[in-house]
């Protein structure tokens, strides 16, 4: 090839590269993309190149300016506004840590209650723990004992649990599981047996370890006091099923909030139905935490709760379906008592809570000032009337 022909080929390649510069920026000038032929400088060879999308090279060379975590600019959350997107998959966290004393012999549940050699289905045991020493907002900060239910259908865990004896000290880690089932109550007037919907909660162990054996109740209590910080601990992430109910204690005036959270299970409970993938424990908060919960939590809001478990007895009242008399039934409930609550998506922030409290405080001060001035005005009017009558 003559020098003139070589120069013509070089000009042709340069012209093609200049035309494609806008679409294929970031590429070397030795390549021409598309269904064109690439020739060397001598013009002796021609190679067909596979077409490559231009965006493939832009991703390597140019940052995506119009996307942050997969969102468009108009979808970004503005500061101070309520969250606009709910997570497609709910965060799953449900962890219970217990350090306690076995309070009664384990109950072995078999396929046939009449055949002692039938297959073992579940092992249930009562477990005494002590509440932590951290402040959770209540007036009474004394250490209290709670008797929790521990139940498992796992073969390895059952083989370990059925050897427990009263007085043994056991450390375990697991999850809180809730179930709804039917309970009964009897009418004292007509003897009618009435069915009502009940709620139960137990700890499903994932890991268990025998710490000591044969402790007396006094020795066990002393050991629980030494390990109070880890004796009763639960952390969960859940979605509030409704706005918290708020009231004050009748005698002490302590603020109390209560609500139900929806927790998606991370572990499969073998003895439960496959369709049951959610747990709905009750949460009961006290003091400042209760006030914050009432102001911050909305229906569907996600919360992270770090707290303890408590078992509380209370009186439930029903109306007899037959005679209309009032029925009182002693019932119990297992609740989560928060040490702290973090408000995630769908909840108001602490800045919003502070603003609401400041606004309420200003309103109270304004109303108090109005009452003071109104009282003085009435007193002056009464004095003027009295003086006129005396004159």
Q: Which stretches of the chain score pLDDT less than 50?
A: 17, 20-50, 52, 54-73, 75-76, 79-80, 82, 84-88, 389-391
- 193 contact partners, CB below 8 Å, separation of at least 6: 184, 185, 186, 187
What is the pLDDT, as a whole number, of residue 292? 93
Look at residues 294, 281, 280, 278 and name the one whose alpha carbon lies nearest to residue 341. Answer: 294
What is the pLDDT, as a whole number, of residue 234? 96
Half-sphere CA count of 75, side-chain side, radius 13 A: 9
The CA distance from 97 to 123, in Å, is: 19
329 neighbors 315 (Cβ within 8 angstroms): yes
- 17 contact partners, CB below 8 Å, separation of at least 6: 29, 32
What is the pLDDT, as a whole number, of residue 378? 63
What is the pLDDT, as a whole number, of residue 375? 66
Domain 93-348: what homologous superfamily? Nucleic acid-binding proteins (2.40.50.140)
């Amino acid at each position: 090839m003559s020098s003139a022909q070589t120069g013509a080929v070089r000009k042709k390649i340069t012209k093609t590269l200049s035309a494609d510069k806008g679409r294929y920026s970031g590429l070397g000038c030795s390549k021409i993309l598309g269904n064109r032929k690439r020739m060397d400088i001598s013009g002796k060879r021609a190679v067909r190149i596979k077409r490559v999308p231009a965006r493939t090279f832009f991703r390597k060379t140019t940052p995506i300016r119009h996307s942050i975590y997969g969102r468009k600019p108009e979808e970004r959350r503005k500061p101070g506004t309520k969250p606009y997107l709910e997570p497609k998959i709910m965060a799953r966290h449900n962890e219970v840590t217990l350090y306690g004393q076995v309070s009664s012999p384990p109950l072995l549940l078999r396929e046939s209650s009449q055949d002692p050699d039938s297959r073992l289905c579940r092992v249930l045991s009562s477990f005494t723990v002590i509440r932590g020493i951290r402040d959770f907002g209540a007036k009474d900060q004394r250490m209290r004992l709670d008797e929790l239910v521990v139940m498992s259908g796992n073969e390895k865990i059952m083989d370990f649990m059925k050897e427990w004896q009263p007085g043994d000290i056991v450390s375990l880690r697991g999850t809180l599981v809730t179930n709804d089932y039917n309970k009964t109550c009897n009418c004292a007037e007509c003897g009618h047996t009435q069915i009502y919907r009940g709620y139960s909660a137990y700890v499903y162990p994932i890991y268990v370890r025998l710490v000591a054996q044969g402790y007396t109740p006094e020795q066990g209590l002393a050991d629980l006091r030494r390990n109070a910080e880890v004796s009763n601990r639960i952390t969960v992430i859940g979605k509030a099923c409704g706005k918290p109910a708020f009231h004050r204690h009748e005698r002490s005036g302590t603020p109390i909030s209560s609500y139900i959270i929806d927790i998606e299970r991370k572990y499969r409970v073998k003895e439960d139905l496959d369709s049951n993938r959610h747990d709905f424990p009750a949460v009961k908060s006290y003091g400042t935490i209760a006030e914050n919960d009432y102001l911050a939590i909305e229906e569907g809001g996600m919360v992270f709760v770090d707290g303890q478990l408590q078992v509380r007895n209370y009186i439930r009242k029903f109306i007899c379906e037959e005679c209309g008399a009032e029925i009182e039934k002693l019932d119990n409930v297992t609740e989560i008592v928060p040490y702290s609550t973090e408000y995630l998506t769908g909840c108001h922030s602490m800045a919003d809570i502070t603003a609401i409290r400041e606004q309420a405080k200003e309103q109270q001060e304004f109303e108090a000032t109005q009452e003071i001035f109104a009282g003085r005005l009435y007193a002056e009017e009464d004095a003027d009337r009295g003086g006129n009558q005396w004159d």
